Amino acid sequence: SNMRWKYVGEKTILVSFTSPNMLPAQELHDGRMTRVFPYSGTHPKLGYEDPKWKGASWAPMNITYVPRKVWVVEQMPKDPYYNWGLHVNYIDQETYTIWYKEVCEQSGDSRIWVSSLMHYSEGSSGKNNAGDHDAQLYIDEKSHHATCVSRSAHPESFIYMPASTLDPGFFSSNNFLLLSK
């Protein structure tokens, strides 16, 4: 690994869900899940999209905050020439979703916050996913700038692959080459 990892502790944090309701998902024969189309959820709406909004233009306006128990895990680059310093990850204890990530400069000053905007989805059998990805929000504290990267509306872009059901061979070089063609 190019990083030194350190378990810091546990805490409960408020994480951002894009829908307060369960959204239906389609279960595929190989264990993956995908969204049902037409999509019934809402897409993250940002402040700049509402002329009456008084907050930061990048702030999500239609999210629900839910308390979740997380592990706090730090990662520090081993390479002294790596562009960034300490990374702090907030990892969901139930779903292993990284809800938030704080990235510091080499000096130790906080620089970037990464926030995952997700929703809860469930298939007809009850199989569920509490980390169905809708967008990533990158907030640069130093330059007072943010970027939100939303998922596309293409049905195949929302596939969930539960790691617990994947064979270790899925992560082989041969399989990655096959999947990238």
Q: Which residues of the chain have pLDDT under 50?
A: none
pLDDT at 54: 92
pTM: 0.76
Alpha-carbon 126 to chain mean position: 22
**Residues forming a β-bridge with 91:** 71, 98
Exposure b/e, 108-137, CB count within 10 A at least 16 = b: eeebbbbbbbbbbbbbeeeebbbbbbbbbb
Alpha-carbon 43 to chain mean position: 15
Please report, for the chain, the start and end positions of each structural domain, with discontinuous segments joined by +: 3-179
pLDDT at 110: 86
pLDDT at 153: 54
Map residue 148 onto helix, strand or coil: strand
For 55, the token pair is 């907050």
pLDDT at 71: 97
pLDDT at 161: 58
With the C-alpha atoms ordered 6, 10, 14, 19, is the resulting torsion angle positive or negative?
positive
Q: Which of 116, 121, 12, 22 is nearest to 68 (CA)?
A: 12
> Residue 52 burial by CB count (10 A; 0-12/13-18/19+): exposed, middle or buried?
exposed
Structural element, H or E, at residue 177: helix 173-179
pLDDT at 25: 82
Beta carbons of 69 and 14 less than 8 angstroms apart: no
